[in-house]
Chains A and B, each alone.
Chain A
Amino acid sequence: MTIRALKTQAVALAAALLLVAPLATPSLADVEFKHALDDSVLDLAPIKGEEITDAVKSFYKDGVNPYSGNAEAIAAGKTLYEDNCQACHLEDGRGGMGPSLIDDIYVNARANTDVGMFEIIHSGASGAMRSFSERGLKQDEMLKIIAYIHTLKK
């Protein structure tokens, strides 16, 4: 009796959670993505025409970039880097108007992690480091850029 009552309660609770959960947390994210400046939670909603790829979904879950070491993704990342990043960070990432991406000096403590780099590329940091999501870059492309940046480090 007691056991059955508990079990019923548990089932009811589980059902309630199932009902409530999809409404309360529409995000897939297990990693919490935060703005580099004030730690506010980032809005990762897809931009117009963007599809959240399996690679991005996987990155949301564990913060590990599935494109790391993937030659095809790195080649795509190189092109994207040249289009979007090299003007300020230079072609080899040593930094010009923007900081170096290949030394070990980080203004932002999280910037030496893939999650931190993603946060900054997606939503910007300060001043001239603008949000590349607002400029039309897709999250899948950001992961490819990050995979490429790693190859610049020696």
Chain B
Amino acid sequence: MRMRYILSASIAAAGFLAMGSSISVAQEVPKTADQVARPGGKLPGDPKIALVKVAEGFLDPVGVASARDGTGRIFVVERQGKIKVVTKDGKINEKPFLDLTKNSPLGSEVQTGFVEQGLWAVAFHPEFKKNGYFYVSYASLPFNGAHIIARYTVDPASPDVVSVEHANKTVKVIMNIPQPYYNHYGGGIQFGPDGYLYIGKGDAGWEGDPLDAGQSKNMLWGKMLRIDVNTPDKVGYAIPDTNPWAGAYQDRMMTLFGITEEGFSKIHMGARGEIWAYGLRNPYSFHFNKKTGDLFIADVGQNHLEEIDWQPASSKGGENYGWKHNMGTNCHPMTGKDDKCPQVGVLPVSQYPHQEPYPGAEKLKDGWGCSVQGLGVANYDGMDGVFLTGDWCSGRIFGTGWDGSKWQMQELAQTALQFTAGNTDEDGTVLAVNCNCFYLDDKGAAANPPGALWKVVAADKVPAGAEVAKTKK
């Protein structure tokens, strides 16, 4: 009896071991810093990519999206406050799809004074084809730079141009979030597979998160927000009841006895119901894997590290990504290569350094950047759930993916482009836009040299005659 018990246990153990070595493990969030991927890794299949130019001549393009309505149109967001339509055959319509620079006799709707301000993003309602709803996210000039998310409606009689009159007639303001400083707005918006609108909200600025926004659950800044926009016209939005702190406002009576400490820990007095995840610095670009529903967040770092977070489709929200106590696997403020501090919340899945990877470090010659821009999740040409990011300073494209047992981060190209944003088009191809708009180098949203729209293809599938982005040999 005893013998048999031991025998069966050892058989089970052997079976378990065999599984571990031969069957790949479902991807998971790293539990220790050494599991976080860094440049120098290898993605499965060692993908080779090229960027093919789709169209050019956009003024500070900082956003791009597909309406997924079967038309094949690509919508490019210009920072100044216009959205341009690129038709299926790559032509740019002369008249903008939406023009927020002319919808008031007092001038533009959009504040563009600082390069992080402007019209950032457009997202189309999952039922856009039926209801014509699309959402924009921008810094408002009339509201002194506050972050506005508004809905507009397409006139079915004019699918490519929402006239100023129609725009003003159909506009519905969803949110108006005050902004104390002119940087770190966030601004990206995307509909999740659950039909809710996700908003990447920056920590509201300055540097070092002086407002302690990332960790304060009573503020919208420094978060991923999730809201339900399917509300009556007079109701801006609703809070999904499955948001982690949707019911926090109901905490009312203090009971000292009969409640466990775990029970007390679930009280989040005053937490904002809109919050989906927190502890973020400037998560303006984030992308869902359309195949799995997983979410990747590119969180722009401060002086030394750029961070990429991931949550599975099964996430219930409430993740704390650690800002401002941590950036990537390190401490904030970072004091050295192996600085020691508690790891707050959830680790990223990958990270890459700036040229000076920690204070006083020797400058890197390779594998660095300064500001991570999420482009999109690629599920083609050998890439399976690879999150592509482009760096604003170094022009590098890094791919982050799971190799069956751990996360990998691989540099796929170094381009001459200053990436600002990306997205996937109707058939899942990853798109990217680049500007020529760098801080003091900024000549103004309508005066900088124009940027372009690109798509990511396999290096051996570049169409004949296509213009390809320069890459480092």
- From DSSP, what is the main secondary structure of chain B's interface residues? loop
What residues of A have a CB within 8 angstroms of the CB of B436 in the complex? 130-131, 134-135
Complex Cα distance, B415 from A128, in Å, reads 11
What residues of B have a CB within 8 angstroms of the CB of A106 in the complex? 365
Which residue of chain A has the shortest Cβ distance to B443 in the bound complex? A135
Across the interface, A127 reaches (CB within 8 A) one of B394, B440, B441, namely: B394
Complex Cα distance, B473 from A128, in Å, reads 19
Known contacts A105-B362, A107-B365; 4 additional CB pairs below 8 A are A88-B440, A126-B416, A127-B370, A130-B436
Give the shortest distance, in Å, between A103 (CB) and chain B (any CB). Answer: 8
Interface-side segment among A5-13, A33-41, A54-62, A66-74:
A33-41
Cβ–Cβ contact B370 & A97, under 8 A: yes
Cβ–Cβ contact A87 & B393, under 8 A: no
Q: Mark B430-457, 1 if CB is under 8 A from A, else 0.
A: 0000001011110100000100000000
Cβ–Cβ contact B414 & A99, under 8 A: no
Q: Does A124 contact B (CB under 8 A)?
A: yes
Across the interface, A126 reaches (CB within 8 A) one of B365, B440, B449, B472, namely: B472
9 closest A-B pairs by beta carbon, nearest first, are: A87-B440, A127-B395, A126-B395, A128-B393, A134-B449, A127-B394, A127-B393, A38-B470, A128-B438
Complex Cα distance, B470 from A131, in Å, reads 13
Complex Cα distance, B472 from A7, in Å, reads 49
Q: Does A125 contact B (CB under 8 A)?
A: yes
Across the interface, B449 reaches (CB within 8 A) one of A84, A100, A107, A130, namely: A130
Q: Mark A79-121, 1 if CB is under 8 A from B, else 0.
A: 0000010011000000101011001011100000000000000
Which residue of chain A has the shortest Cβ distance to B369 in the bound complex? A127
Cβ–Cβ contact A130 & B438, under 8 A: yes
Q: Does B363 contact A (CB under 8 A)?
A: yes
Q: Does B418 contact A (CB under 8 A)?
A: yes
What residues of A have a CB within 8 angstroms of the CB of B365 in the complex? 105-107
For chain B, give the interface size range.
20 to 34
| B residues at A contact (CB < 8 Å) | 355, 362-363, 365-366, 369-370, 391-396, 414-419, 436, 438-441, 443, 449, 470-473
| Of listed B366, B414, B470, residue having the most chain A CB within 10 A | B470
Give the shortest distance, in Å, between B365 (CB) and chain A (any CB). Answer: 5
Which residue of chain B has the shortest Cβ distance to A105 in the bound complex? B363
Give 24 pairs: A residue, B residue, CB < 8 Å, sorted on A. A37-B395, A38-B472, A84-B441, A87-B440, A88-B438, A88-B441, A95-B363, A99-B355, A103-B363, A106-B365, A107-B366, A124-B416, A126-B396, A126-B414, A126-B472, A127-B392, A127-B416, A127-B417, A127-B418, A128-B392, A128-B393, A130-B418, A130-B441, A134-B449
What residues of A have a CB within 8 angstroms of the CB of B394 in the complex? 126-128
Cβ–Cβ contact A87 & B416, under 8 A: no
Give the shortest distance, in Å, between A79 (CB) and chain B (any CB). Answer: 15
Cβ–Cβ contact A126 & B441, under 8 A: no
Complex Cα distance, B443 from A103, in Å, reads 29
What residues of B have a CB within 8 angstroms of the CB of A95 in the complex? 363
Which residue of chain A has the shortest Cβ distance to B437 in the bound complex? A130
Across the interface, A128 reaches (CB within 8 A) one of B418, B449, B471, namely: B418
What residues of A have a CB within 8 angstroms of the CB of B355 in the complex? 99
What residues of A have a CB within 8 angstroms of the CB of B438 in the complex? 88, 128, 130
Cβ–Cβ contact B363 & A99, under 8 A: yes
Give the shortest distance, in Å, between B323 (CB) and chain A (any CB). Answer: 20
What residues of A have a CB within 8 angstroms of the CB of B393 in the complex? 97, 127-128
What residues of B have a CB within 8 angstroms of the CB of A40 in the complex? 470
Complex Cα distance, B439 from A39, in Å, reads 28
Complex Cα distance, B417 from A94, in Å, reads 24
Complex Cα distance, B443 from A65, in Å, reads 29
Cβ–Cβ contact B414 & A39, under 8 A: no
What residues of A have a CB within 8 angstroms of the CB of B419 in the complex? 127
Cβ–Cβ contact A126 & B363, under 8 A: no
Contacts A39-B473, A99-B355, A107-B365 given: A126-B415 contact, CB under 8 Å?
yes
Complex Cα distance, B363 from A88, in Å, reads 16
What residues of A have a CB within 8 angstroms of the CB of B363 in the complex? 95, 99-100, 103, 105
What residues of A have a CB within 8 angstroms of the CB of B441 in the complex? 84, 87-88, 130, 135
Complex Cα distance, B363 from A87, in Å, reads 19
Complex Cα distance, B392 from A88, in Å, reads 13
Give the shortest distance, in Å, between B215 (CB) and chain A (any CB). Answer: 27
Cβ–Cβ contact A127 & B449, under 8 A: no
Complex Cα distance, B354 from A99, in Å, reads 11
Cβ–Cβ contact B449 & A35, under 8 A: no
Complex Cα distance, B356 from A100, in Å, reads 11
What residues of B have a CB within 8 angstroms of the CB of A126 in the complex? 394-396, 414-417, 472
Cβ–Cβ contact A128 & B416, under 8 A: no
Which residue of chain A has the shortest Cβ distance to B472 in the bound complex? A37
